[in-house]
Amino acid sequence: MRTIRAGQIQSLFAGNIRKLLEECVIDYEKLYEIRLRTGRPVFLCYGDGEKFLRTGNGMPYRVTRQDLKETLEYISGYSLYAYEDEICQGYLSVQGGHRVGITGKVILDGEHIRGMKYISCINVRLAHQVQGCADEVLPYIRNGEQVYHTLIIAPPRCGKTTLLRDMIRQISNGTDRIQGKTVGVVDERSELAGCYQGIPQNDLGMRTDVLDACPKAKGMQMLLRSMSPDVVAVDELGKKEDFKAVESVVHCGCKLFATAHGNSLEDILRQPFFQKLRELEVFERYIVLGKKGHAGSIEAIYDGKLVGAVLIIFASAGLGYLKSRELMLHEKNLEEFLQVILCLKGEIRCGNSSLSDALRDTACRCRGRYEEFLERVAACIEANTEEKLSIIFQNCTENYLTDLKLDEDERRKISLLGEKLCYLDLEMQVSTIQIYVRRLKLRMEQTEKESHERLRMYPVIGAFSGVLICLLLV
C-alpha cells in the first residue's frame, strides 16, 4: 500500500485550514475526502462516516471565501489559467495522484463550458492505491494465459477504481500464473493513473500505456490504432458513445476491464447501455462490490454466461408470479362485485323503487368502473330501447368491467341476471339477486381454493421452465 504523505495534502490548503490540519490527528490512509464549502464547516470524509475539522475551542471551523481563493491558488501553483481545460471538466489533478473537484458558476459558450467563476466548493479526493487488493479476484478473471472481459460494479466510494487500478498493475507486471500483458488505459478523469504533468502518480505496471484526460470512446479507438494493447481498461462506462468503442475493442481481440456505477448486477442490467452489452455477451465476469464490513468488500463474482441463464430463470419465474397475481386480483374483483350486487339488492328491497332508480342509487355508493357500469345500465333501461336487458347487461359488462377478467361462465351469469330482472316484480327481483349472490359466493369459494393451489404452483413451473430453456440453449 502506498503511503499518503500528510504534508503533501496539507500544503494544498489555505493557511488557516492547513494549521488546523497539522494540529489535528488524522489517519490519512483512511481519509477519502476533505470538503470545503463557503460558510460551512470543513468536512473530513472517511469510509464509515464524516467529521468536522475543529478549532482549539472545539467549534467547527467555517470556510471563508478567502480560504477558497487561497486554496485554489496553492492547488494551481498561482497559475489558474494553465488549468482552464481541467476546470471546464470540474476538477484538477495534483501531485500524488489526488484529484480536486470544484463547483461554482459555470460560464457557457453555447452548449460548451468555457470556464467557471465564483468558486463555492472544493473537494480534495485522496488517491488510495492498495496494492494486492486484486489478489482475491485474479483467479476468477484469469483464463489460462488469457483474461476475461470484466466489469466491476459498485456504488460511489466503494473501491471500484482502486480494485481496477490493482488489476491493471498485476496484469501488466504479470504474476507467477500469468505472463505480463500490454495494457492500454483511457483515464478520462485522471483517477486511475492520477497523472500530474503527464507523469502517472499511481503504479499501473511496467507494460501500461496511459491516455490521460481523454474521452473514453475516442481513447479506446486511439489505443487500438497505435498501441496494440492486449487489455484495454476504462473507468465508469455508460455513455452512449462508448458502445461502438467497446464493440471495436472486443472485435479486435482485446480484453476489456471496466467499471460502472450501480448497487447490484440487476441494477446495472436495467440500464439500456448495459442491456445491449448483455445481449452481445460482451462481459464474461461481473464483480460486485459493497460496504459490508468495509468499503470495497467483494459481494459477488458472476460468470457472464450464467448471468444470462439466471436472467432467463428469473424471467420465467416472474411470469409464473404474474400469473399468480392475476388469480389474486380476479378473486379480489369478484369480492368487490359481490358487494355491488348486495348493495343493489338492498336498494331494491328498501327503496321500493324501479330497477333503473335502484341502479342509479347503487351507483352513487360506488366509484370508478362500477359507478359507470350501473349508470350506463340505468340509462339504457330509461331510454326504452327494444334491446333486451340481458343484452344491455352483457354489453355494459364488456365495456365497463373488462379489467375484472371475468371468464365466459361469469359473464353469462351476469347476462342471465339482467334477463330475469327485467320482467320480475320487486319481491322476485330480490329473490333472483339472492340466488345470484349464493352462486357467486360458491364461485368465489371455488376460485379461492384453486388460487391457493396455483399461487404456489405457477412460480415453480415458471422457474423449471426457465431451467429447461437454459438446458436447451446449451
Q: Which residues make Cβ contacts (< 8 Å) with residue 133, sequence separation at least 6?
A: 159, 162, 163, 166, 296
Report the first-to-last Cα separation within the chain, whole angstroms. Answer: 44
- pLDDT score for 422: 59
The arithmetic mean of pLDDT across residues 361-379, rounded, is: 78
Does pLDDT of 474 surpass 60? no
Dump pLDDT digits (tens) for 302-341: 887 665 555 555 555 555 556 656 666 767 777 777 777 7
DSSP helix/strand/coil, 291: coil
The lowest-confidence range among 3-7, 267-271, 394-398 is: 394-398
- pLDDT score for 317: 52
Q: Which residues make Cβ contacts (< 8 Å) with residue 344, sequence separation at least 6?
A: 358, 359, 362, 374, 433
Query: Residue 296 class from Cβ within 10 Å (0-12 exposed, 13-18 middle, 19+ buried)?
Result: buried
Letter string b/e over residues 368-404, b meaning 16 or more CB atoms within 10 A of that residue's CB: ebbbbbbbbbbebbeeeeeeebbebbbbbbeebbeeb
More confident residue, 147 or 392: 147
- pLDDT score for 219: 94
More confident residue, 470 or 254: 254
The arithmetic mean of pLDDT across residues 207-215, rounded, is: 93
- pLDDT score for 53: 95
Mean pLDDT of the chain: 81
Give the Cα separation of 299 and 287 in Å (integer): 8
- pLDDT score for 279: 77
Return the bridge partners of 300, or none: 288
